[in-house]
Structure 1
Amino acid sequence: MEMKSMTLLILYATQTGNALDVAERIAREAERRACTVVISSTDDYDANSLPAEDTVIFVVSTTGQGDTPDSMKVFWRFLLQRNLGSHWLEGIHYAVFGLGDSGYQKYNFVAKKLDKRLSDLGATAVVERGLGDDQHPSGYEAALDPWLSSLWSRLNEIKPHFFPKGPDFLVSNEELIGLPKVQVTYHNVNDMDSRLSTATDFKYLQMQIGRARSMSSGKVPHEKSKPDAFLKMVKNFPLTRASHEKDVRHFEFEFVSQVIKYEIGDVLEVLPSQSPAAVDSFIQRCNLDPESLITVHPREMENRHIDNNVNTLDVPIKLRTFVELTMDVTSASPRRYFFEVMSFFATAEHEKERLQYFASPEGRDDLYQYNQKERRTVVEVK
């Protein structure tokens, strides 16, 4: 009989980063319970190894009209092979959490069909699948919080070996903050590529964007680190009333560099420019030097989140440029985990308590009102 893994495996498939965010939260909560965890993207995992696992948690998003994320396409095709049989995953336990938008007809379609396929292959569900909905006032976390509570309760019952210190043991959050995901290295100004100070055309901007994105903690394919085209926005008007809780807009662009071919149904990934004043405000608030030259690369345990084909160690970039091209400081509301981490750095007790409250399930609705509803940015969090 094949020996099963004693590690809880978390596999995620993301298009915009939300599924990764959920997967990392599940991993943190498992580690708080002294559980050994491995987290991986579906495109980094060998699906042939699934029968050797004990328990697998899947976190998958649905894109477009019920489509799988790009990072899941190969994995999904493998699972659809007819020769796998109905006993291929017999003895394996699994759980599925999906992220979708109920405004679309094929809401959470990927999570639903993955759940069915795993069951068809002989695996046993630990809990009923969870379905996060972007349309909910609290977003996907409204479904995630109770789903996680059920998951840990059920796993404690059927898989106690995952929790060697008992069902009530919890590591303090402080111990899980640990080292940052990435290592920032500062360089002497003489290390700067002479081309960076002389080039002024689109090619220069492409090079800067490519360098910045290759250092980003997000998983950007090597061939997609540079933009395909530069566009100018020519129309921007709202489609919803000012009183509507969501600001839906109509945009039109025109090409200012090369023209690219596209078809109906293609996905457009836009990297917008940010307000220089907001970028400067963020850097100043962090007490950083915008002119310093840096390289950013993952720490040893985080290599799975970076493109291994890109050597980021030899291409310094200005700190200001890195922030401008990889960190949304002007529009995106910070995630819930941001408030949890910030609570460890707050010096005033009332600020610490407020941040901890926002990061808790009890404070989820108030966080939505303070954060997403009011469209508060990282710079505006006070």
Structure 2
Amino acid sequence: LVLYASQTGNAMDAAERVGREAERGGCPAVDVLSMDSFDPSCLPGERSVVFVVSTTGQGDPPDSMKGFWRYLLKKDLGARWLEGLRFAVFGLGDSGYQKYNLPAKKIDRRLLQLGAEIIIEIGLGDDQHPSGYEGALDPWLLSLWESLNKANPSLLPRITDIINPNLNYLGDSKIEVIYYSCNDAPPDSVVSDSKKLIERARLMSPALKFHSDGEPQYMLKMVTNQRLTKEDYEKDVRHFELEDPSSAISYQVGDALEILPSQNPSAVNAFIERCNLDPDSYITIRAKGGDEVSNGSLLNGSMGRIKLSTFVALTMDVASGSPRRYFFEIMSHFATAEHEKERLQYFASPEGRDDLYQYNQKESRTVLEVSYVLTGDFLYVFLAIQKISVCKLYHLYDNRPLSLEFFSWLNSEIWFCATFRYWRIFPRCTCLLNGWCN
């Protein structure tokens, strides 16, 4: 069992890698779940668990870990509650902060207090490392597999496939993508209403359930969008007014308004057209052969027909987040040009890890940028979707809500100010990034 707590998707990506390598090594049963998708009372029934925990804020745990952590702190859990459980913890953090990897260190100590047995010492991924957190993850995983194999050789009968991976091998497809052209789309291919789309987008967040089930959600109408600074001023500061016709909003002093962000439609369409597909077409994605898909995925059986541009906008960060290392590994299986295939395989290998981190994350290259660097027909990007769960291929759309302080005259109105900024990471960076804050 692999349990992760992720805020922006890094811990989820690392956890998925743990699961993939375990499957590659022949582990008979591997489950990768977000902590908020697992009942902590069932923990004593597990034999071996790997925890992957990120850090947010000033040493705070991710939202998806909070409920799990509260349960572990219950006073009625004795010192032998987890007797028989073996565990390992890997943390993701930044040594530039005082409370470096604190959530991972806390859960490591607490599991020991509850009687669990450690498999290997805690691993600490550091964003300050030249290769990012993967600089610590690579050797930590090798130690993990060797320790597990030493204790129980039958657990990983193909451990050599982990230590010496074959980058030419790609596992079986878990999902099926059905593509409808604009002319072939059935008459009932109607996109869900806005509220349903937002609910679906929230379910794709790494923190699936951190909000209580009864948390209010509102569809608000924007009635004012006024620029407060001069047109020639470098900062674009705006005053917004939102209106709720139902007057159902209730709040207290200190509450914050969270707004779900969206992607630039032109970037979404550019990516789809780079794949030689039509943004106005429809797709259906479903699990293959009745297989169950992880609760951390957007799929639950079949998700029904959805417009391709809507699907990409809600699930793939194509124009701001950098693609994961696994992106390059998967792309290598579908690249048609031999030199591109070799380069992609190099980036996916331990030897190319540092170069990939410099080329990709450090320079903040986006999926869209990488798609234009690769030559030939980029349709193989979309073909790769059919081989793995879509949200594992790309940088999962980081749809964390933007928290805003606000002012309100009446329950039906929300006022706030925000600053919009545009920048490039480097002067030669082709992608113009943008963001906003209040």
2:286 corresponds to 1:289: no
Code of the residue aligned with 1:112 in structure 2: it is K
Identity of aligned residues (%): 51
> Is structure 2 residue 299 aligned with structure 1 residue 305?
no
Deviations 1:305-337 (A, max 9, x none): 257999842xx4321232234322112111000
- Is 2:89 the counterpart of 1:57? no
Q: Which amino acid aligns with 1:319?
A: L
Moved more, 345-354 or 67-76: 67-76
Measured after TM superposition, the shift of residue 135 of structure 1 is 3.3
C-alpha distance in 2 between matches for 1:298 and 1:217: 20
Aligned counterpart in structure 2 of residue 179 of structure 1, from 154, 173, 176? 173
Secondary structure class of the residue paired with 2:368: coil
Q: Give SS of 2:293's match.
A: helix
- Alpha-carbon shift at residue 235 of structure 1 (Å): 8.9
Residue type at the aligned position of 1:343: S
Whether contact under 8 Å (1:96, 1:130) holds in the other structure is: yes
What are the within-5 Å matches in structure 2 for residues 264-343 of structure 1? 270-274=260-264, 276=266, 278-297=267-286, 300-306=291-297, 312-313=303-304, 316-343=305-332
Residues 215 and 297 in structure 1, CA contact (< 8 A), matched pair in contact too: no
State how many pairs are aligned: 349
What does residue 245 of structure 1 align with? none
Alpha-carbon distance in 2 for matches of 1:12, 1:185: 32
Q: Is 1:42 matched with 2:38?
A: no
In structure 1, distance between residues paired with 2:335 and 2:156: 32
Report if aligned partners of 1:214, 1:312 keep a CA contact under 8 Å in 2.
Answer: no
The structural deviation recorded for 1:52 is 2.3
Name the counterpart of 1:102: 95
1:143 aligns with 2:133: no
Deviates more, 1:327-336 or 1:154-163: 154-163
Q: Is the CA contact (8 Å cut-off) linking 1:32 and 1:172 kept in structure 2?
A: no
For structure 2, the residue ranges without an aligned partner over 5 or more in a row are 230-234, 375-438
Q: Which residue of 1 aligns with 2:377?
A: none
Q: C-alpha displacement at 1:234, in angstroms?
A: 5.9
Whole-angstrom CA distance in 2 between matches of 1:368 and 1:233: 40
CA gap 1:185/1:346 in 2 versus in 1, 3 angstroms: closer
Tell me how far 1:212 sits from its aligned partner.
5.8
- Counterpart AA for 2:10: N
Of residues 117-126 and 47-56 in structure 1, the stretch that sits farther from structure 2 once superposed is 47-56
2-structure distance, mates of 1:93, 1:190: 53
- C-alpha separation between the residues in 2 aligned to 1:356 and 1:48? 42
Q: CA RMSD in A?
A: 3.6
Name the SS for the 1:342 alignment partner: helix
* CA deviation profile, 1:335-367 (whole Å, cap 9, x unmatched): 000000001011222211110110111111111
Q: Kindly report which structure 2 residues correspond to 1:227-238, keeping only aligned pairs within 5 A, or say none.
A: none
Relative distance call for 1:280 and 1:306 in structure 2 (3 A) is closer
How far off its partner does 1:173 sit? 4.8
Amino acid at match of 1:133: D
Partners of 1:339 and 1:107 lie apart in 2 by 29
Counterpart Cα distance in 1 of 2:237 and 2:84 = 53
In structure 1, the residue matched to 2:2 is 10
Distance 1:310 1:207 in 2: 21
Greater length-normalized contact order (CA 8 Å, ≥ 6 residues apart): 2
* Counterpart position of 2:426: none
| 2:242 aligned residue | 257
> Of 187, 190, 196, which aligns to 2:187?
190
What amino acid is aligned across from residue 210 of structure 1 in structure 2?
Answer: I
- Given that 2:7 and 2:207 are in contact with CA atoms closer than 8 Å, whether structure 1 keeps it comes out as no
Asked if residue 367 in structure 1 is aligned to residue 356 in structure 2, the reply is: yes
Query: 1:61, 1:111 within 8 Å by CA — same for their partners in 2?
Result: yes
Worse-superposed segment, 300-309 or 13-22: 300-309
Answering whether residue 148 of structure 2 is matched by residue 155 of structure 1, we say yes
- Distance in structure 2 (CA, Å) of the matches to 1:146 and 1:225: 44
Question: Which runs of structure 2 are paired with 1:73-222 in the superposition (5 Å)?
Answer: 73-165=66-158, 167-170=159-162, 172-181=166-175, 183-184=177-178, 186=180, 188-193=185-190, 206-207=194-195, 209-210=197-198, 213=201, 216=204, 220=208
Aligned amino acid, residue 191 of structure 1? D
Query: How does the TM-score come out when normalised to structure 1?
Result: 0.78
Q: Counterpart amino acid of 1:190?
A: P
User: Secondary structure of the residue that 2:295 maps to in structure 1?
Assistant: helix
Cα 1:268–1:310, aligned 2, differ >3 Å: closer, same or farther? farther
Alpha-carbon distance between aligned partners in 2 of 1:214 and 1:182, rounded to the nearest angstrom: 23
* Post-superposition CA distance 1:112-147 (Å, at most 9, x none): 100000111111211111111233332211111111
C-alpha distance in 2 between matches for 1:306 and 1:340: 20
Distance 1:306 1:32, change over 3 A: closer
Of 350, 358, 378, 2:367 maps to 378
Q: Distance in 2 between matches of 1:227 and 1:350?
A: 50
Decide which structure has greater helix share: 1
Structure 1 pair 318–375 and aligned structure 2 pair: CA distance change class (3 A): same
The residue type equivalent to 2:369 in the other structure is E
Tell me the secondary structure at the aligned position of residue 130 of structure 2: coil
Aligned to 2:428: none
Q: Distance in 2 between matches of 1:143 and 1:234?
A: 46
Match of 1:22 in 2: 14
CA gap 1:211/1:372 in 2 versus in 1, 3 angstroms: same
The range that moved more, 360-369 or 151-160, is: 151-160
- Deviation larger for 173-182 or 333-342: 173-182
